Amino acid sequence: MIQSVAFIGLGAMGYRMAAHLPKHFDTVYVWNRNFAKAEQHAAEYGTQAVELAQAVQADIIFSCLPTSTEVENLIAQVQLKAGSVWVDCTSGVPESAKKLVQQLEAQQIDFLDAPVSGQTIGAENATLTVMIGGKATAFEKALPAIQAFGKVIQHVGEPGAGFAVKAVNNMLMAVSLCAAAEGFTTLKAHGVNLNQALQCINASSGKSAVTEMILPQRVLNRAFPKTFALPLLAKDTGIALDLVREAALPAPVLALTQSLIQAANLTAEKDSDFSTAVKMYELWSNITLE
Ligand code: NDP
């Protein structure tokens, strides 16, 4: 029985994910580095904004931070309770998950890597996909809390497996994003109306999440809403490429895509949405995707 849950890291994802927990649990602690956000969350959703030391006394502790480095640093600062499960929803590094599992095992604490996909709208609607690596017993224990914001929830394997699936997923999305930017600048160069082209492609075999959602909702309308930062996508493609290298596999498409996303990130304005990666192609081609 879960008596208490906590959520650490109330960013674009965490703020919305944590909002669902009070519907299912009486005691929901929240903590954020900028503590005003935790207080705002408490006022808005009936959670309890508490010090980090108290938040980590919950039975299930969620975290959603930019990278595994911030998660490792936080865990190193706190005293955890035996029997609890730390569920890390960060898009993190598989090796870090393996290390944390071993480190926490000695204190009888379980660690699950549980990254999510579905964007901020999925967090808001509790329709996230959650891909989980770690011990089956810990997964079963944490599942009722994960169900508060997850719709498709899969235990995908050993520690690090969840982070690996997430990194590859985001790499595949990045491949589609770069390919779509190349395809659509080409169509515009040939005088084709991009909205009409999109309608055809989305009813054909070239469609992807990029053509179905990202081009119409972020690029062609020039909205570029800031919901998933480009540096975070660059981080994810880097994690995926590290996995390729660790397995000593050839993956030229993924390697090139990682370089392209890295280049887009280095040349983008600070705090840009990931969809602004297409602006690099716009600059190269002198064509605007609208
Ligand atoms: P945000 O940048 O919006 O939020 C980051 C959170 O981490 C904030 O709460 C921030 O606190 C906190 N934080 C940053 N640095 C530290 C630190 N050193 N110590 C403690 N807390 C810190 O990121 P997102 O919510 O967008 O992303 C979080 C994770 O989820 C990332 O790994 C991302 O790749 C992944 N993700 C994001 C998606 C999206 O659509 N945005 C979709 C799926 C996964 P503070 O408020 O004080 O800055």
Report the CATH number at residue 175.
1.10.1040.10
Residues 30 and 64 in one domain: yes
Residue 25 and residue 129 in one domain? yes
For ligand 1, atom 24: residue with the closest CA: 12
- Per-residue confidence at 262, pLDDT binned at 50, 70, 90? very high
Residues 150 and 172 in one domain: no
- Return the ligand 1 atom nearest residue 236 CA: 34
Catalytic residues, which ones? 166
Provide the token pair at 211. Answer: 């053509």
CB 5 within 8 A of CB 16: no
CATH number, domain at 42? 3.40.50.720
Claim to verify: residue 210 and residue 246 sit in the same structural domain: yes
E strands, 59-191, in order: 60-63, 85-88, 110-113, 116-117, 128-133, 150-157
Kindly indicate the confidence band of residue 56, based on its pLDDT and cuts at 50, 70 and 90.
Answer: very high
Angle at CA 72, nearest 5°, toward 70 and 78?
105
Q: What is the pLDDT of residue 67?
A: 98
Ligand 1 neighbours, Cβ below 6 Å, are 9-14, 32-34, 37, 64-66, 70, 74, 90-91, 116-117, 119-120, 227-228, 232
Domain check: are 190 and 139 in the same one?
A: no
Name the residue with the closest Cα to ligand 1, atom 31. Answer: 66
Of 127, 157, 187, which residue constitutes the final position of a domain? 157
Of the residues 125, 142, 157, the one at which a domain ends:
157
The residue range of the domain holding 29 is 4-157
The string of pLDDT tens digits covering residues 90-143 is 999 999 999 999 999 999 999 999 999 999 999 999 999 999 999 999 999 999
Q: Is 290 a domain residue?
A: no
The pTM of the full predicted model, rounded to 2 decimals, is 0.98
Q: What is the mean pLDDT of the chain?
A: 98
Residue 85, pLDDT score: 98
Domain count along the chain: 2
Q: Are residues 153 and 174 in the same domain?
A: no
Indicate whether 200 and 133 sit together in one domain.
Answer: no
pLDDT of residue 127: 98
Q: Contact at 8 Å (CB) between 129 and 118?
A: yes
